[in-house]
Every structure is written in structure tokens, then in C-alpha cells.
Structure 1
């Protein structure tokens, strides 16, 4: 089979979503299979119950395998959670070649140098993303390979996470009977699926409202400038409805999805909603505006915390394209209008783009943004300048497991190649 096939798995707080995709010779991406399973083994994006997470993973992947008609061996997995932290770092090396020409090896050496930062023992580096290179004091260099110089510097964006959180994700995938081909930060993956290249160039903030976490990524000049994860998301909205109306959690979730509106002012017809009684009690009746009055304050809070995170990045005034909202939490009608109000900039709802055929209709929904982004990352390494991940993944679709150290080294080498995108 000459097709390149990769599988992306979004292990979320409320759902596990698996997407199988392939790319043909013309580099068109086709969705071959989709699998979704309820997830209750995570809390705020972090695995808290291995067995439940393994069961959800198996259910989602078996469904994806069945619809795609193939057997999966390796998966690209997303990681999130409020343990994710990011910071800027700077590295410097001297060029030792006789003719002073900067080679790819020098750039790798420099990116390696930027990772020598003091980190607590319980944290590890997930991604190293170059921001700019500086050759002999000349800044603003996108790709220094082939240039002449004596001193090469780089500013990089380093994303770190808890070692235990990453290990638990690996453990769940391996217990489910699969191998981890790569581990990718979820807001980064979502950005590949929902952001337009023009938006990334002029400045945009991505707000991915999931079940347990809200992920934020800020882009300018085609490079990610800031990442953050907030532990307030869609589940908090459901909890507010549950407590406010005194109903069951699954009833609250259904009410939110069917009748929820993020802004009271947007309700034109204030219809009455009937809620079945609990334990033999009579049924309740509430108006749609009452439900919106419960939802709006929490959605405002999520967006206000996101605004603080965007301000903290220092790029709040650089976002000419405004914000793009995605994730299941962005499906509540009126979310874009509320975001424009709270953040004071343009806002739109982002659905996965860049896919050509197959099960396009099934995944063209904001809640599939991360899973689709993960497969786009695998099939189109030029998105971030990584060397051909998809060939490696496909070549190893049968065979033995890769030892952890080799896998980590392979991931580290791929991260170093990201500068090609700049």
C-alpha cells in the first residue's frame, strides 16, 4: 500500500476521538475513519484513571479501525492539562567551520543549547519552537543555513509538561495495545486544522474550549509566540446547570447542547423547556433565557481568563485577525459574539480545514479540531518543517516497539527541524 496513513488520537476529558487519515501523491488528505468514545478517566486534561482511559481508547480506536478497514499499530497523541507551561529561552554558539558557513548541524547544536535550562526534576521539554535566529548581531533571520557568520544565536519558545502526565499518556496507549509515534501539544495540533496561514502571519489567538481545559495559542509572523492551558472549560458550564437547576449531570449536558445559548440577548423566542423530575418528583419547567443566564457568566469567565493569558503573552495588540474559537465548548450558539464582546476583537468559530475527501462531513466540527490537527501534523510535516514523520510511521506500521530513549531522541530531532517553517 503506497498511501501514507497516520492516526491521531485526542484523549480529552469528555471524549476520546481517533481519526485515521491518508495522503495521496498530490498531498490531498482523506479521512478514512473516525472513532469517538466517552471518556471519564481524565480530570482537567490529565489521566486520573488508567483502566477507564484504556477502555475509552480501545473503543475509539476499534471504531476508527472498523470504519477505515485497516489495523492500527501507531498513533500520534495529543497532550494537554493545566500542568503545561511555556517560556522563552535564548541560545548562542560559535561557527567553527573554516569557511564560516552555517550548516544544519550548527542549527541543531544551537537548538540543543537552548534546551539547557534549569527545569524541576518533575518536568520535561515537550517542544522547542524557534522564534528567530540572529547571525553576528543581525536579527530577524528566518533560516540561517548557508549564511556566513561567526556567532549564531536563537530565541526559542519552550513548552514543558509534567513527566508523570506524559508517562501516563504513554502507559494508557501502550496498555490499549498501540504504540505512541509522537506526543503533540493539543493547542498546537488544533492550530494546524483551524487556522488559516494568513491569520498566523498577521496575528491570531486560538482558544480551544474543551471539556476539562481551555487551550490557548498565540501566533504572529507564522510562528507560535505563546501557549497556555486553563483548567476552566465546558464541564464547568455543565456543572453550573446541574447545580443551578438541581438535575442530573447527563440531563444538564443535554440541556446545554440542545437549548444552551452563550448570551441572553441573542434569544429571540423564549421557549419553555420541560425537565423530567428526579426520584418520582414532578417535572420542572424553565425558560430558555433562565438557562442562558446560568451559561453566560461561566462562558464570560472562561473568555476573561483567556484574555488575561493573551495579555500575558505580550501580543494582545498584535492580533489583527482577532481570535478563533474551537473545541466542543465553542459549539454553544452565541460564543463568537460573546468572545468579541469580552475580548474586544474579531472572533470566529473555527472548524477543521485542509481535508479533501473521505469522511469530511463527519469531522468538520470544532470538537474534532485537535484530532484532525494531529493527523495533518503527521501527513504534512511541512506545516512545521518536520522531516517526513508519516513515512517513518507508515514504515513501522508492522514491527517491534521502539525503545523509549530512541523514541524521545527521534522526537527531539524532529523538533529541531521545526525552524524550516520560519
Structure 2
């Protein structure tokens, strides 16, 4: 007889709230049983600017998800993003205590505690402290140092933190209708968990979730996350650029972006024009596809250049093997080709695991799907006797 547990993911996005309800079966398999969505206007650039509206819209999505599967949600795995989120690398060290020079768990624990002990300025709180691996005698990198021989061990961490008030505001939205936040997860890490494969994570993959207000990214190497962050550019910036640059209403700009927008056009397309219909401000007129492309391309190039600058160390040392794009804006035609040109790495759209139903294989669902996977990972880690699976590895390094 199968044993099951229900888990819930809540993504507070700039464009919409998304709630996915999953069921863990026999401690490992995840079935998606409920979905709820609601448009948002209380969130800007992934930051909650109107708590009352955001809470109402989140509750709408939650009720929809509950009704779709006749379940009652008590707690959620909450995704968080926003330009206030930052990260830095920190290294802690410890001398190996044993006279035989063999690294023991106690040595590893002291190095990890030293790395995690760095205090933040007032008003900042940690979201994740992710162990990225270890160095023996400042030279040899390893993932599991116990049993190795060295005189000194260093633990490397990626420390993610955010504005304390904004983190509490996001949690308050959940608490306002009597639910608890079981896990708090940076949305970019969640998206990467869903949109890239274990092989990609081993080889070095940079996953970029291009949303409405921001773009979240996470870089995985050797199967673990080693850097993550936020670029303050999203699809809404392209819409605003089109509205300003080509003198269109914002509604018409969004329609044109999604229907005709391309990151790269061919020579034959440069002379193509189409009608902009129903814009009361300007009236009907023909717009060159080349003009649309120039606006879209300029903003996307800025995004990819900022991303490369954030990741300059990993790009310089050749750790980034490929790039994966996900999120709603990743559906723009030609965006992968442009990313390849700017980042000089192979680029593709996110691919979801076989367990994800066909009707949910959409790039805009990657964060919510990843939040479910994160919750499943946390709920089931430790259950595997081998401890060698990709899930066990990621779970181990997410522990703080």
C-alpha cells in the first residue's frame, strides 16, 4: 500500500501568482495534483509593493489549486526573488586536528561553521548558505573530503541574502491566510532544478529564468549550485522599450512583442512591415519588423552582458559549458541564438523531466515545478542508502 504526502509550491511573480500542489508517493515519486494561478498587480520587479493586493491574489491562486484537487493547503515552499537579493563567495577554514593528517567529519564541520559565520549588515538576512565544495591545503578541490589526507581544509560557500523587510513581507503574505512557510527558496535555484538535467548540472550549466520584472540565474557545476543571482531586467522592460521607442500603448507593445517579436531577424525580414491595429494614441500604422528587432535585441544584449559580467570568473576559467534559458520571455523567437552570440556558449530552452505532464511543459512554469522538486528533495533526502544520487548530492550541499 503506497504512502503519500502533499507538498505545495507558491511563486509570487511580477506577472502572476502560481500555486502547484504535488504528491510524494512512496517517498520518491512526485505527482502534480493541483494548479492555481492569478494575475498580479501588487508586485513590481518581483518585489511586493502592495501587501493587501498580493495577499488577495495569492489566496485566489491557492483556492483555485485546492479546488482542483480537493486538498487543503497548510504550508508552502515559497519562491522568492527581487533585485534586493545578492550573493557573495565566502571561504572558511580549519586545521586538521588528527596527528595522522586524515580529514574527519569534525574537521569538515569546523570549516563549514567558519564559512557560515560571516555576519551581514543590519537589515539583511540569509536566504541560502550553499556549500560549493572543499579545498585541501588550498589546492586540491573535492566534494567529500572525509578520509582524505591534508593539514588544512577550506569550505567554500555561496551566501545568498536579501532585504529582511522584503523577505518578511513575502512570508507575511502566506501567513495572512493562516499558512506556514515550510521552505524559503531563491526562485532562480528552483527554476534551474526543473529546467536542466542531472548531466547538465554535472558538466556546468548556467540556467537563466527571464521573467517579467527580473531575470534569475543559477550556475551548477559538479552537480551542485555554485553561484546564483538576479539581473534587474525582464520581459516588461522590453515591452516598455517598445512603448517608448515606437510610440505604442503598453498593451499594444506587449501584443506586438509576443506575436511578432524576434531577437534575431534575417536579411529578408528587414523590409517586412506589419500593421499596428487598435492603438488609440497613435492610430493604425505600419511598423517595420527591423525596428521591433532593434529594440528587443538591444535590451536582451544588455541582459546577457550583465549576466556575463556577474559570472565573469566562471566564464573566464571555462566552467560554463552551456546556457539554458527558461521563463516566459525565453519564448521569444531567436533568443537562444542571440544568447549564444553574446555568451559564446551553446544555448537551449529548458527541458523538463519525463515526470512533468505535457500540458505543464511550459517555460513559465519552471519556478513552480522547481519549488515542488526542492520540497520533495528536502522531504526525502536521507532516505537513500547509497547517498550517491543527484538528489542526495544537491540536498547535502543545500543544508545550512
Q: TM-score band (shorter)?
A: 0.7 to 0.9
CA distance in 1, matches of 2:300, 2:96: 52
Contact 2:116–2:157 at 8 Å: present in 1 too? Answer: no
2:280 corresponds, among 255, 275, 278, to 278
Contact 1:323–1:346 at 8 Å: present in 2 too? Answer: yes
1:410 match: none
Structure 1 residues 148, 416: closer, same or farther in 2, change over 3 A?
farther
CA distance in 2, matches of 1:125, 1:415: 22
Structure 1 residues 26, 87: closer, same or farther in 2, change over 3 A?
closer
Structure 1 residues 220-299: aligned runs within 5 Å: 220-265=221-266, 268=269, 270=272, 272-278=274-280, 282-299=283-300
1:380 match: 377
Q: Deviations over 1:34-72 (max 9, x none)?
A: 222111212222111101111221121122112222111
User: Aligned-pair distance for 1:108?
Assistant: 4.6
Q: Deviations over 1:199-231 (max 9, x none)?
A: 222222111111111112222222222222111
CA distance in 2, matches of 1:131, 1:38: 37
2:64 match: 63
Structure 1 residues 266, 319: closer, same or farther in 2, change over 3 A?
farther
Structure 1 residues 267, 123: closer, same or farther in 2, change over 3 A?
farther
Contact 1:88–1:156 at 8 Å: present in 2 too? Answer: yes
Q: State how many pairs are aligned.
A: 389
User: Aligned-pair distance for 1:373?
Assistant: 0.4
Contact 1:10–1:17 at 8 Å: present in 2 too? Answer: yes
CA distance in 1, matches of 2:308, 2:398: 31
Structure 1 residues 240, 299: closer, same or farther in 2, change over 3 A?
same
1:329 match: 329
Structure 1 residues 361-376: aligned runs within 5 Å: 361-376=358-373
Helix, strand or coil at the partner of 1:278: coil
User: Aligned-pair distance for 1:111?
Assistant: 2.6
Contact 1:386–1:415 at 8 Å: present in 2 too? Answer: no
Contact 1:207–1:325 at 8 Å: present in 2 too? Answer: yes
1:419 corresponds, among 385, 397, 400, to 397
Indicate yes or no: 2:156 matched with 1:178.
Answer: no
CA distance in 1, matches of 2:267, 2:220: 31
CA distance in 1, matches of 2:60, 2:71: 15
Contact 2:20–2:32 at 8 Å: present in 1 too? Answer: yes
Contact 2:377–2:395 at 8 Å: present in 1 too? Answer: no
* Larger RCO (CA within 8 A; separation ≥ 6): 1
Flag structure 1 segments of 5+ consecutive residues without an equivalent: 389-413
User: Aligned-pair distance for 1:29?
Assistant: 2.2
Structure 1 residues 10-409: aligned runs within 5 Å: 10-25=11-26, 27-93=28-94, 107-134=108-135, 139-145=140-146, 152-265=153-266, 268=269, 270=272, 272-278=274-280, 282-311=283-312, 313-319=313-319, 321-351=321-351, 353-356=352-355, 360-381=357-378
CA distance in 2, matches of 1:18, 1:192: 17
State the TM-score, normalizing by the size of structure 2: 0.86
User: Aligned-pair distance for 1:188?
Assistant: 0.8
Structure 1 residues 329, 282: closer, same or farther in 2, change over 3 A?
closer
Structure 1 residues 132, 145: closer, same or farther in 2, change over 3 A?
same
Helix, strand or coil at the partner of 2:266: helix
CA distance in 2, matches of 1:326, 1:33: 22
Please identify, of 110-119 and 207-216, the stretch whose mean Cα deviation from structure 2 is larger. 110-119
User: Aligned-pair distance for 1:31?
Assistant: 1.4
User: Aligned-pair distance for 1:361?
Assistant: 2.6
CA distance in 2, matches of 1:94, 1:336: 46
Structure 1 residues 415, 42: closer, same or farther in 2, change over 3 A?
farther
Helix, strand or coil at the partner of 1:75: strand
User: Aligned-pair distance for 1:107?
Assistant: 4.4
Contact 1:129–1:415 at 8 Å: present in 2 too? Answer: no
State the TM-score, normalizing by the size of structure 1: 0.82
